[in-house]
Amino acid sequence: MFISLVRPVSFRAQNAPGAGNRCVPSTSRLARPCLRLSGEGLGSGAARQAFSGLSRALAGLLASVWLLADPTVTQRSLAFAANPYDLGTDRGVQAVMVCRELLEPIPRYVESGSWDKARSNVNYCTRTLRLHTALRAVTDRLLTPEYDLEKHESAMRVSSDLPNVMTQLDATLYTPIFMASDQGVSPAQRKYGDEALGYLEQAKQMLDHYLSLLPSEVRARNAAAAAQMRVPLERQ
């Protein structure tokens, strides 16, 4: 058994059954190290199987070292780590605006006992529009400490507290679904509905406050785009 390392300019490592690792032409623009292993001299099946596992492990290790050594990969990783909320300022503002509109029909749904419809609006904000991510993206890119320290701290509080309020709102709307109601909304369901409206009012106030922190030109620029966003739910 012997192991050799080669670093061809246009070759890569490829596994083939029964052939160990071999070097084949690559279309990659980057030079990648190739691990060449030979199992000559290994007679038993167990020995060859162990050798095959070792060759795959070494090939994976070498590929990881190559990725870490490549400057383009490293730069992309560092950029993502520096700002994982890379949603874009305008898209983030539009998501916040749409979420605020989606909260408007919820009192009507609670009144009629349409719990699933109410939850759909909440979950569309938190899951589809990624409200938490949108808030962090706008805060990190626009409402920075350099722009206005007081507004930045206020925006950070909203970004931190609002997701919990939305979670409580969804959970309170979820519970009445499993409560028996022969006609209309039962007293027990009404209790949870009133609690949900309390969380809803908190969420609306927090979103209104967050939007008020934005420069007027940013709100004006994104209002029309937010209104044109296709949303498969009632918004008003």
Residues 127 and 216 grouped into a single domain: yes
Residue 167 counted as domain residue? yes
Residues 219 and 119 grouped into a single domain: yes
Per the structure, the complete domain to which residue 212 belongs is given by 84-228
Length reported for the chain: 236
pLDDT at site 53: 58
Residues 46 and 92 grouped into a single domain: no
Identify which has the larger pLDDT, 179 or 40.
179
Residues 57 and 88 grouped into a single domain: no
Q: Label residue 194 exposed, middle or buried (CB < 10 Å: 0-12, 13-18, 19+).
A: exposed
pLDDT tens, position by position, 123-174: 999 999 999 999 999 999 999 999 999 999 999 999 999 999 999 999 999 9
Residues 23 and 115 grouped into a single domain: no
pLDDT at site 64: 43
Q: Smallest Cα–Cα separation from 188: which of 201, 175, 169? A: 175
User: What are the distances in angstroms from CA 86 to CA 41, 93, 186?
Assistant: 54, 13, 45
Domain count along the chain: 2
Residue 183 counted as domain residue? yes
**Boundary residue ending a domain (62, 80, 98):** 80
Residue 236 counted as domain residue? no
Percent residues over pLDDT 90 in the chain: 59
**Distance from C-alpha of 51 to C-alpha of 236, rounded to nearest angstrom:** 66
pLDDT tens, position by position, 74-84: 443 343 344 44
Using CA atoms in the order 47, 49, 50, 52, what is the torsion angle rounded to 10 degrees?
120
Tell me the residue type at 190.
R
pLDDT at site 45: 61
pLDDT at site 134: 96
pLDDT at site 68: 45
> Is residue 207 a contact partner of residue 156, using CB atoms and an 8 Å limit?
no
Q: Smallest Cα–Cα separation from 63: which of 1, 5, 3, 2? A: 5
Mean pLDDT calculated for residue range 48-76: 50
pLDDT at site 46: 59
- In terms of C-beta distances under 8 Å and separation of at least 24 residues, what long-range contacts does 170-175 make, across chains too? 170/119, 170/122, 170/123, 170/126, 172/196, 172/199, 173/110, 173/115, 173/118, 173/119, 173/122, 174/115, 174/119
pLDDT band at 57 (very low <50, low <70, confident <90, very high): low
Answer yes or no: pTM beyond 0.75: no
pLDDT at site 10: 40
pLDDT at site 141: 93
CATH number, position 186: 1.20.120.290
**Boundary residue ending a domain (80, 112, 140):** 80
**Boundary residue ending a domain (33, 58, 80):** 80
Identify which has the larger pLDDT, 33 or 211.
211
